Structure 1
């Protein structure tokens, strides 16, 4: 009986020791795994923070549509706090970070106005919604769904030029196109290279000058609109933008227009470089490496 009891006691002791050793070994393996893969843990944490930012931006957009200013301001505070915990390394460029942070500032300014500027707040919150989604869903961002909208705006402007509409009509058609582009611009900046955005900006700047002239040159507007189709396709990744550098202004002013647009692109790229330098010098709160 004693022998049996001692045997059972010994067996239990050995089992307990084995269990303790296994538990300790598992802990060491887990700890070593965490230490050997810190980037993986940071990646999970970063993705989680970006997902929370995206969800909060969606909430803000809904509250802005309902003009619920109390909830809008509360949502802005949560978004500002969440930005402090987001690491953008490998997610977007410095220009993309600035585009996102500037959109947050726009929302704050619109909400801070007396009783809120409803149209301005809705547009700013839509920009932030698309920008946050572009960061959270790089494969299929929502802003790509604006392709048909922007394409229709461009077609409407081209049609107005073909029909020799008045300067007021042409200016209105351009204004609609510009508003829709500005809505998606931060989201596009997060995903695309700065030079791609600079091309669109320069094209729109020249087109704006043509549509707001006292005597509109409809032939030039038609040429600009035709070239714009290539740029828009390139912006949304519909096809290669092979003609981005092909002269798109016809007539005697072609060289002058080309110089103006080239200068605008160069200025935009220089400004982007300056913004990157200033961000690194001032340690902007949204820029974390």
Structure 2
């Protein structure tokens, strides 16, 4: 449920960021960082989690991987916001279609996770679909690759770092905060800050903290509890919703090759899901 909630919210993010198309993408990301940090610290205080937060800050073994995950999520946010506001929602969705394949590969190579035969078939079919989709969008492929690899490594780092989801996210946003403040200070000196221009823009930038924090906390919960293979292929929910936003709501062009690739991707999803259901049923029968 946490994974479905995270990916469902991420799938609808283009609708939110299009409302901020008149704001510099870097400022949107920096505002996300600052308002997310305030929200997370408030939630940690309510849940009496601040001691764990400060303990994590003093633990060098945690700070290194969390610095890495902060870097990965920062790259991911900036690339995604720029792509959406520059009219490349379909390219962004392709990045998140590629991401599960990268995640599954990392799970097998780094975490030594095992794949069943039908899971491998599902990944092969989905990979063909993604390859067709990539071939039809070579000029924006860098957007897709940046999103796919940055979020895959973010998920791997969060899965292998023994820290609570909210605490880890708080440390990540705190590490990004100096960069955010430095950029906003520079932008303010050049008269280009969008915050405070008008009430709707200011409200949306403040809300971006919650829009950022809620799905990331849900994702961190899911990443610690699900195998990387399952987590990776469940993620197809988000790019599917993003793709539909780009084509149906924002009027981006859809080629025949792209349509064929989506059919193959969904065949792979059906194969993977049916394998998971069958395995769960066998496990319940064995336990009974």
Structure with the larger RCO, 1 or 2 (CA within 8 Å, 6+ apart): 2
* Both proteins in one fold, TM over 0.5: no
Given the two structures, how large is their TM-score scaled by the length of structure 2?
A: 0.25
Write 1 or 2 for the structure with the bigger share of helix: 2
Select the structure of larger CA radius of gyration: 1
